[in-house]
Structure 1
Amino acid sequence: MSDVHTHVQEFFTARAADWDTRFPDDGPAYAAAVASVGLRPGDRVLDAGCGTGRALSPLRAAVGPSGVVAGADLTPAMLQAAVRAGRDRDGRLMLADAAALPLRSGSLDAVFAAGLIAHLPHPAENLRELARVVRSGGRLALFHPIGRAALAARQGRRITPDDLRAETNLGPLLIRSGWRMTSYVDEDARFLALAVREG
């Protein structure tokens, strides 16, 4: 496991137990973001970097009982917190790295990723791996329950021009990775970039 992976695991392991209580009001933002993806009953969707699984219930509601919902995370403690919260009832949880997913190419209709992009060690390569598992025309949602400026303020830092989530950086990054950005929202109350898997 790389140093970056070890750092990410340590960061989230230390925070897993109280993650949901620290951010108790994010539920509606997750539900609204999932609704924006345009999932249909029967679709197959992955929550990449699912953490405690807060997106799994709205994802399950969107794809219905005939759909497939999976959640992948690198940190065992986050998956354990998801199980304690009962969210494993809404989707199959996998201990897996978003950079090397144990899924067939083109097997999914969509990937939902909340807060993931900031933790990707090799963003272009890692987004290409997400593209690999999604069929042509499938969708990607990069989400955060607060916008870039609000997140930076919470973390006591300023946004810099090289921020990956800036529209001018993210659009070209997605194109290089097999995606085409279709919409971009960066408001105090949410960050949501949607993209389509190019053929």
Structure 2
Amino acid sequence: MDSDHAHVREFFAARAENWDARFPDDGPAYAAAVAELGLRAGDTVLDAGCGTGRALPELRAAVGPSGTVLGFDLTPEMLLAAARAGRGGSARLAVADATRLPLRDASLDVVFAAGLVAHLPEPGAGLHELARVVRHGGRLALFHPIGRAALAARQGRRITPGDLRAEPNLRPLLAASGWRLVSYTDEDDRFLALAVRQSRP
């Protein structure tokens, strides 16, 4: 495991047990984001970097019993917390690296990624890998339960023009990775960028 991945895993492993308790009011934002994905019964969806699995029950409800929900995370402790919270029944949980997914090309309808993009060592390469596993016309949701300004304030920093999630930066990054940004919302109570998988070269 490279140093970037080791750092991310160490960071989240130390916080996994109390993660949900730290952010008890995020549930409605997750539910609203999943509702905008346009999931249908029978779809196959991946929660990439699923953490404690807060989106998994909503994703399961959206795709129904005939659908498939996968919950992948780099940190085993986060998946254990998801299982302890009773969310393991909503998805197949697995330790996996979002930059090297153990999935076939074009095998997914949708990827949901909460807070993931900021933790990718090479965001362009990571988004390209997500594009690899999504069918043409499939969707990607980059989500955070609070917006960029609110998150920066929480972390005691300011937003800079180079912020990866700023629309002028994110749109070309997605386009170069096989995605077309179709919706962008950055409000105090949520961040949600929706993109559609483009035709393969």
Q: Which residue of 1 aligns with 2:13?
A: 13
Normalising by the residue count of structure 2, what TM-score does the alignment of the two structures yield?
0.98
C-alpha distance in 1 between matches for 2:158 and 2:3: 25
Task: Give the Å deviation of 1:145.
Answer: 0.2
Q: Which residue of 1 aligns with 2:111?
A: 111
C-alpha distance in 1 between matches for 2:82 and 2:176: 33
**Counterpart AA for 1:174:** L
- Offset from partner CA, 1:131-170 (integer Å, 9 cap, x none): 0000000000000000000000000000011110000000
Normalising by the residue count of structure 1, what TM-score does the alignment of the two structures yield?
0.99
Matches within 5 A, 1:67-106: 67-106=67-106
**Counterpart AA for 2:8:** V
Q: Which residue of 2 aligns with 1:122?
A: 122
C-alpha distance in 2 between matches for 1:16 and 1:140: 25
C-alpha distance in 2 between matches for 1:37 and 1:171: 18
Structure 1 unmatched runs, 5+: none
Q: Which residue of 1 aligns with 2:140?
A: 140
Task: Give the Å deviation of 1:86.
Answer: 1.0
Q: Which residue of 1 aligns with 2:27?
A: 27
**SS, match of residue 164 in structure 2:** coil
Structure 2 unmatched runs, 5+: none
- Offset from partner CA, 1:25-62 (integer Å, 9 cap, x none): 11110000000110001000000000000000000010
**Counterpart AA for 1:13:** A
**Counterpart AA for 1:100:** R
State the superposition RMSD in angstroms: 0.4
Amino-acid identity (%) = 75
C-alpha distance in 2 between matches for 1:53 and 1:105: 24
Q: Which residue of 1 aligns with 2:131?
A: 131
Task: Give the Å deviation of 1:93.
Answer: 0.3
